[in-house]
């Protein structure tokens, strides 16, 4: 009979964390995009990087793509290339925020012509998802307004609902629509999808295959994200995560780097809700501005694994008992004991049992991959956004 630790290792080995194509390109702030060495130039090279991450971690079997950042002539060919490298094309992310027409919004724009352009692009992305056999359409809208009276907040919600209904009706049965939210930026007076409640209201109106996407950097300071997770899990409307970390706003830092205890609290609710290896999509959404791309993604995955392992170590029986008798300190101690545990040896054992090296990051630096891509990608146009 397997021991408790063996069961935990088995659950960790089944974990799936999707990496984002944009993390392998050059990114930055609105002030500057810094250029790195060996950065991917094409969607195919991004797949190469994602495949390297998966080979070393064993838990990153898919890569999300962003359209048109990752536009190619033949998406079936791109999916085949990914499959040949033992990964899959994950969530399809339409971009409806980087063209001049979207100055006043995309699907909420007062112009019917602009709204139709945005919807058509999203519908095209559904076709791409069909070609690549993706199971998720991930939507984030920069829509909103900067000034009081600039537009009707209520009318914009009507336009959003109408646009989403058109998109949802085009989804194949195998796809889930994930609706992300962000409480501010780039719209500074009001944002059309600013919080999980607004996202949930629209998802409930659409149907069961529309779910909320929680980006861990998209909340006001002090927001109890794990409560949001618990409520959405209870409602069976938590579609997935975009993992990153922040100090002030949407910093897109490596997940767990600013607040590892916060990440643990989130994963504790995921484990408590029996959602670790279910229908919830675990994805990174990060911009590696000053650090090398591939090892930063590896480090991020390791951070998620460590938080997950600690959540799996929580003594659920003791926690329930303490909660039931109203013993505040004992209940808190159960969680703190799990968080304080050094899970790196456990994860090292798990990786060795998977045929991997104990430390994926050390394994990366011991390989010649960074040296090779730095040489091979020394010329040409590097992928990324901005200059």
- Domain range for 185 is 14-376
Looking at the DSSP assignment, which residues form a beta bridge with residue 190? 145
Coil, strand or helix at 11: helix
Stretch 10-14: mean pLDDT? 97
- Let me know how many helices (H) and strands (E) the chain has, helices first: 14, 10
**Segment 166-179, tens digit of pLDDT:** 999 999 999 999 99
**Segment 112-157, tens digit of pLDDT:** 999 999 999 999 999 999 999 999 999 999 999 999 999 999 999 9
For residue 301, how many C-alpha atoms fall within 13 Å in the half-sphere facing its CB?
A: 32
- 356 located within any domain: yes
- 2 located within any domain: no
**Segment 275-313, tens digit of pLDDT:** 998 899 999 999 999 999 999 999 999 999 999 999 999
Phi/psi for 114 (5° steps) reads: -70, -45
Coil, strand or helix at 129: helix
Using pLDDT thresholds of 50, 70 and 90, give the confidence band for residue 33.
confident
CATH of residue 242: 3.20.20.150
- 123 located within any domain: yes
The rounded distance, in Å, linking the Cα atoms of 223 and 244 is: 15
**Segment 233-271, tens digit of pLDDT:** 999 999 999 999 999 999 999 999 999 999 999 999 999
Contact 93, 64 (CB under 8 A): yes
The residues, any chain, with a CB within 8 Å of residue 190's CB and separated by 6 or more, are 144, 145, 153
Quote the number of domains for the chain. Answer: 1
- 385 located within any domain: no
Per-residue pLDDT for 387 more than 60? Answer: no
Burial (CB < 10 A; 0-12, 13-18, 19+), residue 131, is middle
Contact 356, 57 (CB under 8 A): yes
- 386 located within any domain: no
- 4 located within any domain: no
- 86 located within any domain: yes
Q: Give me the sheet containing 176-180, strands edge to edge.
A: 19-20, 62-67, 88-94, 136-139, 176-180, 210-215, 238-243, 281-284
Burial (CB < 10 A; 0-12, 13-18, 19+), residue 11, is middle
Q: What is residue 385's predicted lDDT score, i.e. its pLDDT?
A: 67
Q: What is residue 1's predicted lDDT score, i.e. its pLDDT?
A: 60
- 191 located within any domain: yes
Coil, strand or helix at 203: helix
């Amino acid at each position: 009979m397997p021991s408790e630790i063996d069961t935990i290792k088995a659950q960790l080995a089944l974990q799936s964390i999707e990496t984002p194509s944009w993390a392998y390109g050059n990114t930055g702030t609105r002030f500057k995009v810094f250029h790195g060495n060996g950065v991917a130039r094409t969607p195919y090279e991004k797949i190469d990087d994602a495949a390297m991450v998966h080979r070393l971690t064993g838990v990153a079997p898919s890569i999300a793509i962003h359209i048109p950042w990752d536009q190619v002539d033949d998406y079936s060919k791109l999916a085949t290339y990914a499959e040949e490298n033992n990964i899959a094309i994950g969530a399809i992310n339409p971009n409806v925020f980087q063209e001049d027409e979207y100055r006043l919004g995309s699907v909420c724009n007062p112009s019917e012509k602009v709204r139709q352009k945005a919807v058509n692009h999203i519908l095209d992305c559904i076709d791409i998802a069909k070609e690549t056999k993706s199971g998720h359409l991930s939507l984030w809208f920069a829509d909103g307004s900067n000034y009081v009276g600039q537009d009707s907040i209520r009318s914009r919600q009507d336009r959003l609902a109408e646009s989403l209904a058109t998109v949802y009706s085009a989804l194949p049965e195998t796809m889930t629509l994930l609706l992300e939210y962000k409480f501010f930026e780039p719209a500074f007076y009001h944002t059309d999808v600013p919080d999980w409640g607004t996202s949930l209201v629209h998802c409930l109106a659409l149907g069961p295959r529309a779910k909320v996407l929680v980006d861990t950097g998209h909340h006001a300071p002090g927001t109890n994200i794990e409560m949001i997770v618990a409520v959405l899990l209870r409602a069976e409307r938590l579609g997935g995560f975009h993992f990153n970390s922040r100090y002030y706003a949407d910093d897109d830092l490596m997940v767990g780097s600013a607040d590892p205890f916060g990440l643990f609290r989130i994963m504790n609710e995921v484990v408590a809700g029996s959602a670790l290896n279910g229908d919830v999509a675990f994805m990174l959404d990060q911009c590696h501005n000053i650090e090398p791309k591939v090892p930063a993604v590896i480090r991020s995955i390791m951070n998620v694994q460590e938080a997950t392992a600690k959540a799996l170590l929580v003594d659920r029986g003791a926690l329930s008992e303490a909660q039931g008798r109203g013993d505040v300190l004992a209940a808190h101690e159960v969680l703190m004991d799990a968080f304080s545990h050094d899970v790196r040896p456990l994860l090292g054992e798990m990786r060795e049992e998977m045929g991997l090296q104990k430390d994926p990051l050390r394994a990366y630096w011991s390989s010649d991959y960074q040296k090779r891509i730095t040489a091979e990608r020394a010329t040409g146009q590097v992928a990324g956004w901005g200059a």
